[in-house]
């Protein structure tokens, strides 16, 4: 598994979100949009060579759902698919207050 892939796709988003949530809570407003992938919505690991990428996007989707469940106020969080695969226009994977 690639540590760089997890560091970029999951931990990068985690640290940015963690940094901004206190400011958003203080101002009573905020929007967080995580960029996921169709691979992040797939539980099967049938595509060879993309295991670390899929795991990082699954983790990002889980983080988005966790924050959505715990966040208060007028802060919205979404994870969206880039739409590069079989989905023509992309789609929202998970949302909070949208």
The count of domains in the chain is 1
> What pLDDT is stored for residue 45 in this prediction?
56
Q: What angle do CA 70, 11, 37 make, to 5 degrees?
A: 85
| Strands laid side by side in the 92-95 sheet | 30-36, 75-81, 92-95
| Mean of pLDDT values over 41-69 | 80
**Domain coverage including residue 7:** 3-95
Residues catalogued as catalytic: 53
Domain at 51, CATH number: 3.40.50.720
pLDDT digits (tens, 9 = 90+) for 9-31: 999 999 999 999 999 999 999 99
């Amino acid at each position: 598994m690639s540590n760089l892939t997890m560091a970029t796709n999951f931990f990068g988003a985690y640290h940015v979100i963690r940094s901004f949530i206190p400011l958003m809570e203080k101002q009573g407003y905020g929007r967080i949009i995580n960029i996921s992938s169709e691979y992040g919505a797939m539980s099967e690991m049938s595509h060879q060579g993309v295991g670390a990428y899929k795991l990082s996007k699954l983790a990002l989707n889980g983080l988005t759902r966790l924050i959505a469940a715990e966040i208060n106020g007028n802060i919205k969080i979404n994870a969206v698919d880039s739409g590069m695969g079989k989905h023509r226009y992309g789609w929202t994977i998970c949302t909070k207050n949208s």
